[in-house]
């Protein structure tokens, strides 16, 4: 009877143990826990020269091999913007760690290595002795350290690093890292701020910026304030603020904030300073990391006397696409504080706008083209064109072309140009390609009764070095192989403000 009781007791103990083991195997670490643990492991390794034997976070005791599995999994998943909790798995320590690699790994490689480590541990249930890399063999302890650094970097910056430094770490201590999750902490920081290149007094600018709660507890509402800091005098000028209702533990709030530049500010180069919880209403575990400065400066200028911009376009794609392109450019210029107008589309708009007496004489006329036309360029030097142009400035832009204007040595007459006089006649092209080298232009069947058939001309009628022709006649231009609205807007801005 006593034997039966003992047997039943053993079975009961084993059953309870099995339940406990089942609950442990089903445990997981959320991203906040993993970030805090990674920070603890990184700091422990820096202080002691070895990695800890375990990490204890949120009452979960995780062995170092299992933690390596967790942080390599998070590294791979965060690269896909996946932030779901990672299930803890039982992983044995490596049998004989080896390797001595040092150096720098790029993001693409450390992501590949993380995938390899995950696959190895999933298959073998043991941590690897080393990981192969372009630097050589990276030792097991070094892997724990570098992936802890990667997750810790993400904790602070909300993005994976572009590179990670590999150090040769040897040894695993019997001691571990214990992460104390309580008392509750709130810790606000600004992880990034991007300054535009140029701003205009009284106009708005767009400032991308991100605020993150590094703590383990959600915050209540708080203010984020923006300032301009003069790079010359260090003077601080208030520019605006925004209110965040709440920010969860580990969460980030990213916004493209629209701010107005004061009209009273001096023209200068300025850093943009962003201050989280600027009124100090949130009690934080770290009050010294709330402020960040933009890495680049914004050039603040006064655009009071700068040229108004009127934009025309040839028929390039279709009415909808061409109009959207102009409207996007107009919006970008208006955000920089310029007066900008979509004047219209059509093959003759670049000229008809000059005949419009309501267009002011200080205007910048921007003409957008999808292909090069020698006749259009040659026309810009004709007396009638200059008469109607007056004191206005004309800026020509070519987009989505197979070559740039600078690469063209000879630009033949366009296939549909039957309006520009022939070479050798009044108002005709100044240059041509003499195919038989006899010094005489021979139109042949391409010219019949005053009508020009460009595709049938025997000689190539056109313009030598069209880019230099524009420059020699005082015109500026932009030639792009693609369609980059930011580049186009920046170039127009420079033309309009460079009086």
Summarised one tens digit per residue, pLDDT across range 399-421 is 999 999 999 999 999 999 999 99
| Predicted confidence (pLDDT) at residue 368 exceeds the cutoff of 80 | yes
| Predicted confidence (pLDDT) at residue 142 exceeds the cutoff of 80 | yes
Pick the CATH number of 188-301 from 2.70.98.10, 3.30.70.1230, 2.60.40.10, 1.10.260.40: 2.60.40.10
| Dihedral angle sign, alpha carbons of residues 404, 406, 410, 414 | positive
The mean pLDDT of the chain is: 90
| Predicted confidence (pLDDT) at residue 144 exceeds the cutoff of 70 | yes
pLDDT given at position 6: 47
Q: What is the pLDDT of residues 244-291, one digit of tens each?
A: 999 998 899 999 999 999 989 998 999 999 999 999 999 998 999 999
Phi, psi of 370 (to 5 degrees): -105, -5
CATH 3.40.50.2300 matches 309-409+465-497: yes
Q: Could you give the CA distance from residue 189 to residue 209 in angstroms, rounded to a whole number?
A: 11
| Predicted confidence (pLDDT) at residue 491 exceeds the cutoff of 90 | yes
Q: What is the pLDDT of residues 214-230, one digit of tens each?
A: 988 899 999 999 999 99
Q: What residues form DSSP beta bridges with 136?
A: 133
Residue 226 half-sphere exposure toward CB, CA atoms < 13 A: 28
pLDDT given at position 14: 40
Report residue 499's pLDDT band, with 50, 70 and 90 as the boundaries.
low
pLDDT given at position 58: 83
Least confident of 75-84, 175-184, 189-198, 425-434: 175-184
| Predicted confidence (pLDDT) at residue 86 exceeds the cutoff of 50 | yes
| Higher per-residue pLDDT: 296 or 196 | 296
Residue 443 is encoded by which pair of tokens?
């139109």
pLDDT given at position 432: 94
Report residue 303's pLDDT band, with 50, 70 and 90 as the boundaries.
low
The pTM of this model reads 0.48
Mean pLDDT for the stretch of residues 40-49: 93
Helix (H) or strand (E) holding 212: strand 204-213
| Predicted confidence (pLDDT) at residue 23 exceeds the cutoff of 60 | no
Report residue 8's pLDDT band, with 50, 70 and 90 as the boundaries.
very low
pLDDT given at position 7: 39
Domain segments of the chain as ranges: 24-179, 188-301, 309-409+465-497
Q: Could you give the CA distance from residue 405 to residue 232 in angstroms, rounded to a whole number?
A: 40
């Amino acid at each position: 009877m006593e034997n039966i009781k003992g047997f039943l007791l053993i079975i009961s103990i084993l059953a309870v143990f099995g339940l406990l083991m089942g609950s442990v195997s089903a445990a997981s670490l959320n991203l906040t826990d993993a970030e805090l643990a990674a920070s603890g492991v990184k700091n422990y390794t820096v202080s002691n020269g070895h990695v800890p034997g375990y990490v204890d976070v949120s009452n979960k005791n995780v062995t170092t091999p299992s933690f390596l599995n967790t942080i390599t999994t998070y590294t791979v998943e965060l690269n896909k913007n996946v932030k779901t909790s990672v299930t803890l798995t039982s992983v044995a320590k490596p049998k004989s760690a080896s390797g001595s690699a040092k150096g720098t790994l790029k993001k693409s490689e450390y992501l590949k290595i993380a995938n390899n480590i995950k696959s190895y541990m999933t298959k073998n249930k043991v941590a690897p002795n080393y990981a192969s890399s372009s630097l050589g063999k990276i030792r097991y302890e070094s892997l724990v350290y570098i992936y802890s650094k990667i997750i810790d970097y993400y904790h602070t910056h909300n993005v994976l690093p572009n590179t990670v430094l590999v150090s040769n770490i040897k040894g695993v201590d019997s001691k571990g890292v214990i992460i104390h999750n309580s008392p509750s902490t709130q810790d606000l920081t600004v992880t990034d701020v991007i300054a535009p290149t140029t701003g205009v007094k009284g106009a708005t600018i767009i400032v991308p910026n991100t605020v993150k709660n590094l703590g383990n507890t959600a915050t209540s509402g708080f203010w984020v304030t923006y300032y301009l800091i003069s790079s010359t005098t260090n003077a601080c000028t208030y520019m605006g603020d925004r209110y965040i209702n709440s920010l969860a533990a580990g969460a980030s709030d990213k916004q493209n904030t629209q701010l107005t530049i004061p009209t009273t500010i001096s023209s200068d180069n300025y850093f943009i300073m962003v201050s989280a919880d600027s009124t100090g209403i949130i009690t934080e575990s770290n009050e010294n990391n709330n402020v960040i400065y933009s890495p680049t400066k914004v050039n603040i200028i006064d655009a009071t006397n700068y040229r108004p911009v009127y934009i025309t376009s040839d028929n390039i794609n279709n009415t909808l696409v061409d109009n959207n392109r102009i409207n996007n450019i107009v919006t970008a210029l208006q955000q920089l504080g310029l007066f900008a107008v979509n004047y219209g589309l059509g093959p003759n708009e670049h000229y008809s706008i000059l005949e419009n007496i309501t267009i002011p004489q200080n205007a910048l006329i921007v003409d957008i083209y999808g292909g090069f036309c020698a006749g259009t360029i040659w026309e810009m030097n004709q007396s009638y064109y200059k008469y109607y142009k007056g004191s206005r400035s004309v800026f020509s832009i070519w987009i989505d072309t197979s070559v740039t204007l600078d690469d063209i040595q000879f630009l033949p007459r366009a296939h549909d140009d039957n309006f520009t006089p022939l070479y050798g006649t009044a108002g005709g092209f100044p240059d041509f390609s003499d195919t038989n080298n006899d010094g005489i232009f021979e139109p042949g069947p391409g010219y019949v009764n005053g009508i020009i058939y460009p595709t049938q001309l025997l000689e190539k009628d056109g313009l030598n070095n069209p880019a230099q022709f524009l420059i020699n006649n005082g015109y500026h231009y932009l030639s792009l192989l693609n369609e980059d609205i930011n580049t186009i807007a920046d170039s127009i801005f420079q033309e309009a403000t460079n009086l």
